[in-house]
């Protein structure tokens, strides 16, 4: 009924994205793998969260559930200025043994002298979110390289279904499985993506009192049926044929086109760029020659038009990814 890692592990990919129903055992299953690796081969693990606040909360209760399966052992977590560390102890007179590390993407490795030797698996829990760090994927990749040190250590990216458009899927060009297929493997055999499906788990959960309460709601579709919570079709629309480009916007090392249709009054943000139009940068990192730098969108006519269109309900986006990017741009310029 709960998530089984066997299929994923057998594919032997480096980065493994597992998107599943809430409470289907993704994180618990990884903890079991980490502990069994330690008992069998004294291997260590690394547990990653987006922020140090998330990591601190998760670390406090990390062993509360899975520890019950190992009654002869004592588990401890220590968090300090030098990082987060997981330990195990067998018997009162036995010393504590280090079995794992906790690291956050926003802080990275606090103590550069810490050795991650012995780490054979990495888990990035709740990798999907509502908000992401600035340049998060590159921060994660830098962290991975610090831990792996030229070794091919598999990473298990775990999350509930939040949005198909997220920085990790965009960066690695991850696409959902086609049709009824539940998993996909990249052509180079480096990336595995699985959209979990357990008929038994969904049935059991839907028959709980809470399951009955949220049945046929947006949250129920997300929590039980594993539908992407943030993805809606509202304001997703291809630009009209009569739309003309008015501005290109550089953001996070990519550029997007802002189009305006005088007939309908609609603005559309698109991957399609306009030719012979001004180009704006809204962050220091994207500011380059021949791009004007914008701190406040209201001061620039084209961006003010975008803001007004958004507030009036006439700003559209050509796909979910561009919609997410558009929301980030609006947070900066409004």
The per-residue pLDDT for range 39-64, each reduced to its tens digit, is 999 999 999 999 999 999 999 999 99
The reported pLDDT for the residue numbered 267 is 93
Confidence of residue 237 (pLDDT cuts 50, 70, 90): confident
pLDDT tens readout for residues 68-100: 999 889 999 998 878 899 999 987 778 899 999
Q: What is the mean pLDDT of residues 269-276?
A: 92
**What residue spans define the domains of the chain?**
6-223, 244-333
* pLDDT value at 232 more than 80: no
**CATH code linked to domain 6-223:** 3.40.50.300
Q: Where are the beta strands (DSSP E) in the chain?
A: 15-19, 44-49, 74-80, 83-89, 97-104, 119-125, 155-159, 183-185, 191-195, 244-251, 254-261, 266-270, 279-281, 292-293, 315-317
Judge whether residue 122 has pLDDT over 90.
yes
- Is 0.75 surpassed by the pTM of this model? no
pLDDT at 210 over 90: no
User: Among residues 327, 312, 326, 305, which one has the least CA distance to residue 261?
Assistant: 305
Mean local confidence (pLDDT), 247-269: 92
pLDDT at position 222 over 60: no
| pLDDT for residue 299 | 74
Predicted confidence at residue 112, as pLDDT, reads 62
* pLDDT for res 220: 54
pLDDT of residue 334: 76
> What whole-number distance in Å separates Cα of residue 137 and Cα of residue 22?
24
Minimum mean pLDDT among 43-52, 116-125, 225-234: which range? Answer: 225-234
The 10 Å Cβ neighbour count of residue 10 is 9
| Alpha helical stretches, state H, 214-254 | 218-223
Tell me how far apart the alpha carbons of residues 248 and 25 are, in angstroms, rounded to a whole number. Answer: 44
Q: What is the pLDDT of residue 81?
A: 78
The pLDDT value recorded for residue 61 is 93
Averaged over 284-309, what is the pLDDT?
A: 84
């Amino acid at each position: 009924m709960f998530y089984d890692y066997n299929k994923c592990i057998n594919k032997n990919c480096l980065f493994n994205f597992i998107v599943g129903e809430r409470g289907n055992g993704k994180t618990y299953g990884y903890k079991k793998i980490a502990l069994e690796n330690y008992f069998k081969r004294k291997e260590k693990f690394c547990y990653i969260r987006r922020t140090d606040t998330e990591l601190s909360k998760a670390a406090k209760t990390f062993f509360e559930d899975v520890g019950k399966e190992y009654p002869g052992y004592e588990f401890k977590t220590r968090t300090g200025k030098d990082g987060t560390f997981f330990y195990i102890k067998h018997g009162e007179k036995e010393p504590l043994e280090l079995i794992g590390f906790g690291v956050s993407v926003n802080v990275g490795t606090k103590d550069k002298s810490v050795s991650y030797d012995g780490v054979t698996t990495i888990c990035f829990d709740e990798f999907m979110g509502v908000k992401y760090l600035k340049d998060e994927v590159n921060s994660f990749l830098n962290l991975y390289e610090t831990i792996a040190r030229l070794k091919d250590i598999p990473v298990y990216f775990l999350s509930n279904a939040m949005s198909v458009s997220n920085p990790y899927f965009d960066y690695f060009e991850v696409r959902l499985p086609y049709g009824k297929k539940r998993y996909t493997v990249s052509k180079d055999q480096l990336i595995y993506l699985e959209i979990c499906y357990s008929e038994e788990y969904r049935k059991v959960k839907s028959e709980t009192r809470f399951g009955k309460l949220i049945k046929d709601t947006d949250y129920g579709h997300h929590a039980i049926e594993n539908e992407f919570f943030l993805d809606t079709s509202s304001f997703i629309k291809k630009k009209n044929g009569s739309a003309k480009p008015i501005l290109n916007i550089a953001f996070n090392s990519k550029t997007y086109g802002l189009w305006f249709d005088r007939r309908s009054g609609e603005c559309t943000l698109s991957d399609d760029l306009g030719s012979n139009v001004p180009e704006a940068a809204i962050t220091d990192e994207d500011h380059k020659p021949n791009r004007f730098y914008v701190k406040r969108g209201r001061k620039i006519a084209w961006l003010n038009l975008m803001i007004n269109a958004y507030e009036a309900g006439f700003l559209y986006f050509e796909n979910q990814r561009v919609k997410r990017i558009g929301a980030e741009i609006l947070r900066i310029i409004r």
